[in-house]
Structure formats: C-alpha cells, structure tokens
Amino acid sequence: MTRIDAKFAELKAQGKKAFVAYVMAGDPDYDTSLEVVKGLPGAGVDIIELGLPFTDPMADGPTIQLAGQRALDGGMTLQKTLDLATEFRKTDDTTPIVMMGYYNPIYSRGVDTFLADAKAAGIDGLIVVDLPPEEDSELCIPAQAAGLNFIRLATPTTDDKRLPKVLQNTSGFVYYVSITGITGSAEAQATDVGPEVARIKANTDLPVIVGFGINTPEKAQNIASVADGAVVGSAIVSQIAAGNSVADVLGFVKSLADGAHRA
C-alpha cells in the first residue's frame, strides 16, 4: 500500500473528500517553494502534486507555463525537484507526493535511475501527461513494479471505448480533467462533472479526483461533492506569481481545502 492508498483509506474512514494542491517545484525559487510545500499539509492539503518544470509543456495554461519558466530561470532541475521532496520528507513521512510533468526529463535521466531516485526521495506517484496507455511499457509498468502509483488523466473526450484502456494499469487514483482545453482556461461545473465521475466509477474501484477549472472554496466544495476530491493548481500558482507571502499563499490554500472538506 502506497501513501496515496493509505491516505484515501483514511479519508474514507473519516467520511471526507480529498483536497489535492498543485505547486510548481522551484517557483519562484527553491527556498520559497520548499517553504510553501512544507506548509501545505498544515493548510489542509491531503495530497501534494509537485510540478516538474519543463521547457515545452502541452497541457498547461499560461499560469503554469510561466511558473515552470520562473523555476527553470531560477536553476530548477529534475534533481533539485527530487532534492525538494527529500527535504520535505525529513519532517513529513505521511503526506503523499505525486510528481506531475512530462516524459522528456525522465527519459533523459534514464527510467530505472529515475524510478530508484524518485522512490528514495519519497515520491509516491507519477502523472506524466504525454505518455498514453499505448506506451505503458516505457514508464507506467516499471513505475508500478518500483512501488510508485501511475495516475492517469481521463477527460470529457474519453469515451466508453477509450476509458478501459485509460484505466488499465492506472493506480492510486484517476485524475478527471473537468474541461476540454488547458489548465486555468475555464470553470468546472458540478452538473457536467457528476455524470462523468459516475461513468468512470462504474468502471473502476479507484478514487476519482477532479481538477482544472477550480479556483474558489465554493467551487472546490461543489466539485468535491460529486467526486472523491478536488485538485487546485492554477489558482494557487497565481498567488505565488503575484508575489504574495508564503503565509498568505497557505491561507488561500486553507480556504480551498476547507471548501473541499465541507463536501
């Protein structure tokens, strides 16, 4: 059982929905980023999604793209992202960390080396948005063998024919993308999301977490009420981009977490 599995079991026992927060590793700089990440569990975050900066993102909207660029400009690398996770683990051995990014930096490092290093750093799961199920032998299956969850995205365009393929070899949870398009570009609607979550849950026992288009405590509550939890990324990254203090960023995160936990 991974930390992700344990966290969902704990939340289920408490009758609570999950709140997942995304931040870009190294944004706006390593030290500030580490301080934010260390503060997330205390702000009510159940699972941390740690963005891996990459030069050529595809699914990310302008907010996340700019965060990645700030991190890269500040010298952030895959190694420093792993270092950040290692540092976090010195004071928190229970909060799950999911690394979210693209395959190129992992491929460049070497899959076996990366998986060993990620496991040692305390990473629990991976979301690699540009690796479809047809490429499972590249990273997904080796990751599962190494004890890491491989989390897949399902979208409004994932039809009934495609869904079983998407769910195959997926573990930890299913990340449902609530809108078509990039992050931060539209608002999620519970009326649209609810039936889609039900459709996915009819095909898997995994929790279904919904992200993209959630930017207020009310929205987090509404979406979490029709799913197993909610993810917020762009709205949190925007707070960091605005130069707000770590305390203010974490205060905003807490408001979102409280919303999701009210569901």
Q: Residues with catalytic annotation?
A: 49, 60
Determine the residue type at 36.
Answer: V
Structure tokens at 151: 């989390």
Quote the CA–CA distance of 193 and 179 in Å, as a whole number.
Answer: 9
Q: Is the peptide bond before 28 cis (omega within 30 degrees of 0)?
A: yes
Judged by phi (left if over 0) then psi (alpha if -120 to 50, else beta), residue 248 lies in alpha
CA-closest candidate to residue 150, choices 142, 158, 159: 142
In 3-state terms, what secondary structure has residue 225? coil
Q: Which long-range contacts (CB under 8 A, 24 or more apart) does 107-113 make?
A: 107/138, 109/78, 111/138, 111/139, 111/142, 112/142
Q: What is the DSSP string of 101-142?
A: E-HHHHHHH-HHHHHHHHHHHT--EEEETT--GGGTTTTHHH
For the chain, give the number of residues.
Answer: 263
Residues 7 and 12: their CA atoms lie apart, in Å, by: 9
Cα–Cα dist 96/22, whole Å = 12
